[in-house]
Amino acid sequence: MPVDPIQLSKFLSFVLRHKPGEIGLTLSSEGWANIDELIAKANAAGTKFGRSDLLDVVANSDKKRFSISPDGLNVRAAQGHSVTVELGLASQEPPSLLYHGTATRFVEAILSEGLKPQGRQQVHLSFDEATALRVGQRHGKPHIFKVDAGGMHGKGFKFYRADNGVWLTDHVPPEFLA
């Protein structure tokens, strides 16, 4: 039976970002899972797919959620983890302006407390407004925050760029939001 790439992507996101233990998988400290082990444990748990299915999802995902290790033996989520991993990303100077999409029902709390990682390790920021809008629409009526990333960086806040282009930081205080 053919594998549904959308369902496989959702499964991989769940296992590689949030619950590797659900199929008996252990991630490395950097979030890597051995591809052969992942496939074997997923298949044993009832989610059937092969290496070519996985590589197809990694290569063709519009959001580029996953990365393959240089040796081709391991896979990991590019960002978005709720489990503790150290992606090994170097701190970088961000663009002066980044964006964060959310639902309007969260605006008041965000203006009061800033952007927090919630259940993830870091706050996710988009390079462009269109991407932030798509993210915000997933959660309800969208609202786009402009983030003064240049100002934050100038005050010593660290930024990291994930393999898929998403910008990460630990917290965005309200004074850097517009």
Domain-by-domain residue ranges, the chain?
A: 5-77, 98-176
pLDDT of the chain, 178 residues: tens digit per residue: 689 999 999 999 999 999 999 999 999 999 999 999 999 999 999 999 999 999 999 999 877 889 999 999 999 998 888 888 888 899 999 999 999 999 999 999 999 999 999 888 899 999 999 999 998 998 899 999 999 999 999 999 999 999 889 999 999 999 999 9
Residue 80 pLDDT: 85
pTM of this structure: 0.78
Between helix 5-13 and helix 51-60 the angle, nearest 10°, is 90
The class of domain 5-77 in CATH terms is mainly alpha
Q: What is the DSSP string of 98-128?
A: EEEEEEGGGHHHHHHH-B--TTSSSEEEBSS
User: Looking at the domain 98-176, which fold is it?
Assistant: ADP-ribosylation fold (3.20.170)
Residue 2 pLDDT: 83
Question: Going by C-beta distance under 8 Å and a sequence separation of 6 or more, which residues neighbour residue 91?
Answer: 158, 159, 160
Residue 175 pLDDT: 98
Rounded to 5 degrees, φ, ψ at 48 are -95, 125
Residue 37 pLDDT: 97
In this structure, are residues 143 and 107 in contact, taking their beta carbons and an 8 Å threshold? yes
